[in-house]
Amino acid sequence: MFMRPGFFVLAAILFCSPAFASSEESPDGHHDSESPAAYWVLTNGKFFTVDDQQPWGQALVLSGDRIVYVGDEAGAAEYVSDAARITNLGGRLVIPGLVDSHTHPGLMGVEQYGAVDETDEEDILRVVKTYADSHPEKKWIRMCCWSESMYGKDGPHRRELDAIVPDRPVWFTSSSTHSAWLNSKALEELGIDRDTPDPAPGVSLYVRDESGEPTGYLKELYGLYGEGHFDIDSEVHEQGMTDFVNFLSEHGVTTLYDAGTDTWIDRIYSFMNKLQEQGRLPVRYEGTFNVFFPAHVDPAVPEMRRLERSYGGDRLRFNTVKFYMDGVTANHTAAVLQPYEDYPGNRGGTTLSVAELRDFLLELDDAEFDIHIHVIGDRGVRDVLDAVEAAQQAVVGEFYPRVTISHLKLIDPADFVRIKRLGVIANYTPWWHGIDPLDDGGPLGAERNDRSYPVKPLFDLGVPVTFSSDDWSLPYLSPFLGMEVSHNRQFPKDWIPFPVRAWAWLTGSDTLGPDSEQLDLELVIRAYTLNGAYQLRMENEIGSLEAGKLADLVVLDDNLFEMDRSEIHKVKPSAVIMEGKLIHGSLP
């Protein structure tokens, strides 16, 4: 086993200097009164700290759940006693515990869809009919997935589903999950007719024919139908949620933000609370309340307080409201500055006006909650920034909410500096940046599609950029997949777990955006650690390896900075330490 020269210095001190066995004073004279027997000395490592004052260290010392020292090995020897625990990492890379700052644990297993793995309309309908015929016991036929790009701006029609399943309701979710295709029986079951109002015109709506009748094509309405409408297998759902948080934990994630529960809010958080009470919740978990439509604005603050009272605890907390400003480009609901290439005159829509969003932000300021905003289009980004600026100007003193805008498929370059000036946090899902899961680029045209997901300009300005998984299927959750794609701006060619879903997303090129968007690993890891901690108001507790912070460490056999950059997605930590305890893997 290779050991650097510094390790022999530590070994010599350990075996030849008994004075250190009883010392309780650190090199800077700030040891507490705790017995040195509590110290755990990790040495002979490569510690990437994400601390600008000391980016790298050779050794780290823990006491209880806290880091007490990071630095060279000679300094770590100050903490050694006969009772101290010593671990030689053998040159392994160690990074801080990771933060998944936008994901959906509660959605794994809740939607028990029949799978459609076809790309031709005739084949898709055949699979739906076969599934319905083979499941006569199901009241609802729930299916996924079809691509919006197959049907153009008008979308699919209920009559195609009526022809194959006329007697039972069919709900068919799109591959983006932001659209649904219903047959007539489903519209009838849900009470949707020509008089049903759109919850947020231009964004959340029922597509209608020339006579005003709904066609069965629904856009951005997943926050309206679910709990109380469809039967859910609780055992499957709870196992899915358990697998989700355990998978993230095993891959080094110690903290996450749940960016949405659709309509399953109490079902999800009551289960997460149960895991918390049983000591089985392996991550710090920030829950949320979703504001999908204007009608959700008024109950947002009371609901956040109810959720905290009902389910809040040491691991589960509620500090950030989730708001949907626009939709997605796949179904033409993202708010864009210029009309869609394939839908002249349509620029999408926003859920709230600038004035309405400003007022909502002021309410959150008064209640001291943060906000996480879904926004895809460049007009949506601009409207959000206008609302943030107006709210900040209306407040005397410090504006409380930390505002995160997520996804950011399009940003007008003029707004980069505004994001920085207004203190807005930019959240991305980097594995999308090689394959775009929301559309195939068609609605935007080549020029806009080629400048999708601009990340580097924001890093260059010093904007806090955070990274996340934003999915509810295990293969896509690994932060190391996101690290590779953001580093290479390319999806791993040897790893596409769901080929048909990916078929709907491929843009025809290996990369999405210029090569200049390939990010240095130091920036990528910062986005998954300290910046994520900042988004969740935990930057003083986690996110970097610094004395005084919680001891969240990820130990890697593979050195991310030295390995083949196309193999990063395969990485899995050899050990995960959370709050000073080894929770996964093993150490030498």
- Same-domain check for residues 197 and 85: no
Sheet holding 581-585: strands in order across?
Answer: 56-57, 46-48, 93-96, 553-556, 575-578, 581-585
Contacts of 352 (CB under 8 A, 6+ apart): 294, 297, 325, 360, 387
Q: What are phi and psi of 425, to 5 degrees?
A: -95, 140
Cis peptide, bond prior to residue 145, ω within 30 of zero: yes
- Same-domain check for residues 209 and 236: no
Q: What distance in Å separates the CA atoms of residue 133 and residue 137, rounded to the nearest whole number?
A: 10
Sheet holding 59-63: strands in order across?
Answer: 66-71, 59-63, 39-43, 85-88
Query: Which of 115-124, 481-490, 499-508 is modeled with the greatest confidence?
Result: 481-490
pTM of the model: 0.90
8: confidence class by pLDDT, cuts 50, 70, 90: very low
- Same-domain check for residues 477 and 534: yes
Does 588 reside within a domain?
no
pLDDT of residue 514: 53
- Judge contact between 130 and 116, C-beta under 8 A: no
Residue 434 has pLDDT above 70, yes or no: yes
Q: What distance in Å separates the CA atoms of residue 408 and residue 491, rounded to the nearest whole number?
A: 19
Does 581 reside within a domain?
no
- Same-domain check for residues 339 and 475: yes
Residue 122 has pLDDT above 70, yes or no: yes
What is the mean predicted confidence (pLDDT) over 534-538?
Answer: 98
pLDDT of residue 435: 55
Q: Compute the radius of gyration of the chain from its Cα atoms.
A: 25
What is the mean predicted confidence (pLDDT) over 293-310?
Answer: 98
The residue count for the chain: 588
Q: What is the DSSP letter of 234?
A: H
pLDDT of residue 493: 75
Residue 184 has pLDDT above 80, yes or no: yes
pLDDT of residue 475: 85
pLDDT of residue 242: 98
Does 500 reside within a domain?
yes
Lowest mean pLDDT among 266-270, 305-309, 380-384, 499-503: 499-503
Q: What is the pLDDT of residues 330-371, one digit of tens each?
A: 999 999 999 999 999 999 999 999 999 999 999 999 999 999
Does 106 reside within a domain?
no
Q: Among 195, 219, 243, which residue terminates a domain? A: 219
Q: Taking all residues of the chain, what is their mean pLDDT, rounded to a whole number?
A: 90
List, as one string, the DSSP characters of 129-159.
HHHHHH-TT-SSEEEEEE-GGGTTTT---HH
What is the mean predicted confidence (pLDDT) over 274-295?
Answer: 98
Residue 492 has pLDDT above 80, yes or no: yes
Residue 195 has a CB neighbour count (10 Å cut-off) of 7
- Same-domain check for residues 564 and 460: yes
Within 312-401, where are the H helices?
Answer: 354-367, 378-394
Q: What is the pLDDT of residues 224-249, one digit of tens each?
A: 999 989 989 999 999 999 999 999 99
- Same-domain check for residues 124 and 159: yes
Residue 67 has pLDDT above 80, yes or no: yes
pLDDT of residue 4: 34
pLDDT of residue 496: 55
Q: What kind and span of H or E run contains 98?
A: strand 98-103
Give the chain's domain count: 3
pLDDT of residue 515: 58
pLDDT of residue 120: 86
pLDDT of residue 491: 83
Residue 30 has pLDDT above 60, yes or no: no
- Same-domain check for residues 345 and 276: yes
Lowest mean pLDDT among 49-58, 75-84, 91-100: 75-84
- Same-domain check for residues 515 and 443: yes
- Same-domain check for residues 442 and 533: yes
User: Looking at per-residue confidence, does 512 or 208 come out higher?
Assistant: 208
What's the angle, vertex CA 479, arms to CA 448 and CA 41, rounded to 5? 145
CATH of the domain at 118: 3.10.310.70
Residue 437 has pLDDT above 60, yes or no: no
For tokens 């610094």, what's the residue? 546
What is the mean predicted confidence (pLDDT) over 97-111?
Answer: 96
Does 583 reside within a domain?
no
Does 175 reside within a domain?
yes
112: confidence class by pLDDT, cuts 50, 70, 90: confident
By residue range, what is the domain housing residue 75?
5-91
Residue 22 has pLDDT above 70, yes or no: no
Portion of the chain with pLDDT greater than 70, in percent: 89
CATH of the domain at 75: 2.30.40.10
- Same-domain check for residues 520 and 412: yes
- Same-domain check for residues 553 and 475: yes
